[in-house]
Amino acid sequence: MSLIYQIPRPALWWLLLAQGAVILPLMQYLPLWLIAVWAVCVGWRIQVVRGVFDAPKVMVKVPLALTMVVALVLSYGKLFALEPLVALLLLAFLLKLLELQSQRDVLLLLLLGFFVASTQLLFSTSIIAFLYAIISFTFLMAAFMALHTATATHSFWHSLKTSSVITLQAIPLALVLFFIMPRIGSLWTVPLSDGNAKTGFSDSMEPGNISQLSKDYSPAFRVDFTDKKAPVQSSLYWRGLSLSSFDGRRWELPFQDRDDNMRYRRIAQEQRKHNYGWQVEFASYRRKDNSPYIDYQVMMEASFQPWLFALTTASVGAKDVLSTPDYLFLSKRPVSQRFLYQARSYPEFKRQGQSLGPSERYQNTLLPSGSNPRATALAQQWREAGDSDRRVIANAMRLFQREFAYSLQDTLLSELNPVDDFLFSRKRGYCEHFASAFVVLMRAADIPARVVLGYQGGQWNEEEKYLLVSQADAHAWAEVWLPEQGWTRVDPTSAVAPERIELGFRDYIQQSSTANEQNGFAELRQSPLLMQLQMQLDAINYSWQSWVLSYDQDQQMIFFQKVLGGQEHWRIVAVLMGASTFMLALLALWLWWRARPEAPAAELVPWLELEKKLAAGGWIREPGETPQQFSSRVSRQRPDLEVLLERYTKMAYTLLYIPIGSDQHQQLLKDLAGLRNSIRL
Amino acid sequence: MSHLVLQQSIAQLGKVVLGKEPQIKLAMACLLAKGHLLIEDLPGMGKTTLAHALAAVLGLQYQRVQFTSDMLPADLLGISVFDAQNSKFDFHPGPIFTQLMLADEINRSTPKTQSALLEAMEEGQVSIEGETRPLPQPFFVLATQNPVHQSGTFPLPESQLDRFLMRISLGYPSAAAERMLLKGINPRSLLKNLQSTMSLQQLADLQDQAQAIHASDHVLDYVQRLIQFSREYEGFSYGISPRGALALISAAKAWALIEGREHLIPEDVQAVMPAVMEHRLRASSHGAAAEALVDIVLNAVDVIQG
């Protein structure tokens, strides 16, 4: 092989560095043994370069590659999903290291590297991932530079310097393309392998599964209120789904609603025939002028669940989203990527003179027979005392308030009759326990009731004016049917720990005196500095999402309309050409500026002026001629000028030895100008 | 004042070396710049007369050494002789222990002897038998050589040529000067009547004054352009060294002093350029004369601006 095709060492080191940079973020999502594969490949490659090992033979390479693919399939159980396919790509990227022979192979590997580095953006689109991708690209470019400047004697870091400059130069172009390139919606969606990808709560509730979320500060969604004012915490009940089926321990959706697709299709079909009664009423309520409402925009993180979140009695504007009979929202497909929707809530909307259908009443008062007997007995006792529905509710709330504690400890209740266990022996628990026990009590007293899952509160970001709702804000509460009011929210947690509702979960942990070591909240406390840092980071991410990631076709059209005054193609082309002309002009200006002729030294100017004047008369100084020689040459032909020229030359020489700016200097300049003017050719 | 002394000296020299004022001035400039002078010419052109006259006018001790092919370094530097009476070695200094030494026909001696001159010329001292002995101050070497192509010569190597600040040649005398010679007026006979025009102290002062001549940036720019051109021009096999550049500046300063100025102008540089540079340049293709080389540089480089 010719020497010039060999891989220069700096290029190889840069390649390995870039490879490391590309692999690193992917390790969050892919099996860790790929690191080991990489280490082996790097080790082998380095030994080959040092001349210790031979390059692997085909007999080694082929079985190795096959084994790796099989290992991949085994560790995922399938091949055709996003993660295994990215892992396969990465594997190819790593194993190719063993095959490097010529510069061409390195080139191929580097190009593959750009592709692999982009795949991390399939998993995360945060600004950090984006910046990291740019850094990876810079490293890959550095390897390119090292490959192509192998003959130059630069230092090792020179490549990185050059590639950084190239990256910086690319930024204006990237910006122009970002704003102007047509935004094509995703042509296909790649399903992430499901399973642990689901975040937040599931579609059922049993003791322990909400309190688990209390440690999870990852964002659930962010809300941008149109009036940009901090809302009242205690009013922020973000309803997600209502559970009305109970088996003695676990709350679930009614049996017929458990398949999301079926449910969606059924509701869609029903709504095609007729609107629900509440919808008709709601529509006319909305048309009234004086109905108070709140406008907001929710940017929801991927939850891989079909339900959306909104404040009470909302209308949501989004495609393929249905309102369900229980005032909730169901999306046609699970929210598998960040999802932005507008919503308007009418908190004071109440239905007039409504009634609960028999099947609904049955569904919402059903308790499994024989379970939780003591709780049932207690409620029936209240009922038999002749109390009204409201008195029964008040009884239950008073019971919680007096004898119960809000706590994260001891959340797993006994398998049998967990509500009895909670009500009569443990007497402490988290929101799901209170909600569950409350609804059981209500149902035992023959009041229709259901559990609602969602989020309560959220953290207001004062700088960016938005509300961050994280998984830790997950909450469960109850809704009871009151004949004159319809479904009414009752939050038993507010009786036990009113501060939780008034402050929001995070501030409750941080500030409240009732949150202490014994109930397990204090250990969740963070240092205020860390919290502030998290808030700031979240604000950056939010800006990133709302300004960059949500720039879609509609936004682009708005942008064109605003900035260009229209959406016609010629405007876009004109801007593109204008922008490029502007940049090239800047570049040209800079190049000209760099190569501009240097101004002659000030002390030479008088002499150059004279030369110019004599040149007009046909006398041109030879390069090697000194002023004296030149002036005497001229004098020979024009004896009349001899005296003048001799004086002038002498004075011009004197000028060289006089400090610039001195009085003498000024005087000389004046004299020289006078002399020059008196020369008549 | 100093100018007057210099004018007198040059006038005195002019009486002995007829019609060679430019060369006399160059020789003076060379001595004022504390450099050594190489005079290259055919035999019988007055080289020795010039050297002798210089020594007489400046009032310097003078020694003349005729270099021959069988000459050894000891003949030049001196030798230790055993004194039987005192039973110790006595050093007998050679002719180099003088203030102005005329090394006549330097290229007739072997390289060994030529190189014995090296240390003396550069350091102002000689090392003999492991002992370093200083030479008198001032110390000038005035060497003459016959044109290289004459038979029986060992051409001086570049390193040694570089140690001479200037190389000049006297050339044939003018018709008027020659007529005087032919009339029988032998200038050599005038030598013994020559009066020294300055003291050693005055000479040292003049040398200091030459050093102190102002050089403006403009002139330094010009010198740097000249040097740069000599290094880049492909007609030369090598450019001018930093030592060559320094030599050019100090020679030009001495020239400016002789011209009666306290500052440097480009004309000074041009005046000394052939003498200083001729022997420091070599054409990359043989055949071109050194004189032409300096002219190439002077004609190509702009005096005013780059």
At A196 the pLDDT is 47
Q: Could you tell me if A552 lies within 8 Å of chain B, comparing CB atoms?
A: no
Residue B146's domain spans which residues? Answer: 2-185
Question: Is B305 in contact with A621 (Cβ distance < 8 A)?
Answer: no
Give me the residue from B218, B263, B303 closest to A603, CB to CB.
B218
* A43 SS3 class: helix
**Structure confidence at residue B80 as a pLDDT band (50, 70, 90):** confident
Contacts A607 to B, Cβ<8 Å: 304
Chain A residues 594-623 with a CB less than 8 Å from chain B: 600-601, 603-604, 607-608, 611, 621-623
A293 and A165 co-located in one domain: no
d(CA A615, CA B127): 61
d(CA A661, CA A657): 12
Phi, psi of A241 (to 5 degrees): -150, 155
- Quick one: three-class SS letters along A384-445? HCCCCHHHHHHHHHHHHHHHCEECCCCCCCCCCCHHHHHHHHHCEECHHHHHHHHHHHHHHC
* DSSP secondary structure code for residue B263 in this structure: B
Best residue in B222, B303, B305 to probe A by mutation, most A CBs within 10 Å? B303
Q: What is the pLDDT of residues A633-657, one digit of tens each?
A: 888 888 888 888 888 888 888 887 7
Q: What is the pLDDT of residues A189-240, one digit of tens each?
A: 555 544 445 567 788 888 878 887 887 888 889 998 988 888 888 889 999 8
What pairs with residue A489 in β-bridges?
A: A479
Contacts B266 to A, Cβ<8 Å: 626-627
Q: What is the pLDDT of residues A31-78, one digit of tens each?
A: 889 999 999 999 998 888 888 888 888 888 899 899 998 998 888 888
Q: Could you tell me if A416 lies within 8 Å of chain B, comparing CB atoms?
A: no
Question: Is A603 in contact with B300 (Cβ distance < 8 A)?
Answer: no
Contacts of A272-280 with C-beta under 8 Å, sequence gap 24+, read A276/A323, A276/A325, A277/A351, A277/A354, A278/A325, A278/A327, A278/A351, A278/A354, A279/A323
Q: Give the gap in angstroms from C-alpha A129 to the nearest C-alpha of chain B.
A: 53
- B306 lies in a domain? no
| Number of domains observed in the structure of chain A | 5
A519 and A375 co-located in one domain: yes
The helix, strand and coil proportions of chain A, stated in percent and rounded to the nearest 5, come to 55, 10, 30
d(CA A262, CA A343): 25
B127 and B236 co-located in one domain: no
Query: Which residue, A129, A171, A103, A126, is CA-closest to A24?
Result: A129
Alpha-carbon distance values, B216 to A23, A610, A613, B255 (Å): 63, 20, 25, 16
Torsion (CA) A212, A217, A223, A225 in degrees, nearest 10: 110
Give me the residue from A603, A608, A626 closest to B266, CB to CB.
A626
Question: Number of residue pairs across A and B with CB atoms under 8 Å?
Answer: 49
B164 and B219 co-located in one domain: no
Mean pLDDT confidence for A6-14:
84
Prediction pTM value:
0.56
Task: Say if residue A549's pLDDT is above 60.
Answer: yes
B148 and B271 co-located in one domain: no
Distance of CA A518 to the CA centre of its chain: 37
List the Cα angle A244/A250/A253 in 5-degree steps.
35
d(CA A97, CA A104): 13
Alpha-carbon distance values, B217 to A224, A229, B266 (Å): 69, 70, 11
Q: What is the CATH number of the domain that holds B221?
A: 1.10.8.80
The nearest alpha carbon in chain B to A650 belongs to B265
Give me the residue from A608, A628, A657 closest to B304, CB to CB.
A608
Q: Which amino acid is at A25?
A: P
Best residue in A603, A611, A612, A626 to probe B by mutation, most B CBs within 10 Å? A626
Mean pLDDT confidence for A120-129:
85
* Tokens 């090239």, located at residue: A584
- A356 lies in a domain? no
Task: Say if residue A3's pLDDT is above 60.
Answer: no
Contacts B270 to A, Cβ<8 Å: 624, 626
A12 and A124 co-located in one domain: yes
- B195 lies in a domain? no
A235 and A273 co-located in one domain: yes
Mean pLDDT taken over chain B: 84
- B218 lies in a domain? yes
A421 and A507 co-located in one domain: yes
B289 and B172 co-located in one domain: no
Rg of the Cα atoms in chain A: 39
Contacts B265 to A, Cβ<8 Å: 626, 628, 653, 656
A238 and A330 co-located in one domain: yes
At A195 the pLDDT is 44
d(CA B43, CA B148): 13
Q: What is the pLDDT of residues A153-170, one digit of tens each?
A: 677 888 899 999 999 989
A35 and A111 co-located in one domain: yes
The answer to which of A19-23, A299-303, A514-518, B106-110 has the lowest mean pLDDT is A514-518
| Number of domains observed in the structure of chain B | 2
Q: Just list the catalytic residues of A.
A: 431, 475, 491
- A460 lies in a domain? no
- A353 lies in a domain? no
Q: What is the CATH number of the domain that holds A376?
A: 3.10.620.30
Q: Could you tell me if A565 lies within 8 Å of chain B, comparing CB atoms?
A: no
- A590 lies in a domain? yes
B74 and B140 co-located in one domain: yes
A409 and A485 co-located in one domain: yes
**CB distance B262 to B210 below 8 Å:** no
Q: Give the gap in angstroms from C-alpha A625 to the nearest C-alpha of chain B.
A: 7
Question: Is B304 in contact with A622 (Cβ distance < 8 A)?
Answer: no
A518 and A395 co-located in one domain: yes
A561 and A583 co-located in one domain: yes
At A1 the pLDDT is 42
A580 and A521 co-located in one domain: no
- A544 lies in a domain? no
Q: What is the CATH number of the domain that holds B106?
A: 3.40.50.300
- Ranges of H-type helices in A1-57: 9-26, 33-50
- Quick one: three-class SS letters along A100-151? CCCHHHHHHHHHHHHHHHHHHHHHCCCHHHHHHHHHHHHHHHHHHHHHHCCC
B45 and B120 co-located in one domain: yes
* A23 SS3 class: helix
Question: Is B216 in contact with A603 (Cβ distance < 8 A)?
Answer: yes
Residue A578's domain spans which residues? Answer: 553-595
A111 and A161 co-located in one domain: yes
Q: Which amino acid is at A587?
A: L
